[in-house]
Amino acid sequence: MKGKHLIPIILLISSCSFHQMSTSEQKLFDKVQSAILTQDMNKLSELEYEKIATYISEGKVH
């Protein structure tokens, strides 16, 4: 299953926010929160998982 290794990380940021979010980052963050609330992580594509990991590694999530 794609991206399942990132679920713990995504759960950690579910109540956080991005620093100076762009519109695309806001949409992705909203999609992540929706996936968590509905417990349907298949809503997120592999590319979206990669973007989330990049945001975390760049310190854009706090």
| pLDDT per residue as tens digits for the range 3-59 | 555 666 666 665 555 556 678 877 888 888 888 788 787 888 888 888 887 877 777
Residue 1: the pLDDT is 47
Overall pTM surpassing 0.85 (yes/no): no
∠ CA 19-25-28 to the nearest 5 degrees?
A: 130
Residue 7: the pLDDT is 62
Residue 23: the pLDDT is 83
- Mark 25-47 as b/e (b = at least 16 C-beta within 10 Å): beebbeebeebbeeeebeebeee
Residue 14: the pLDDT is 56
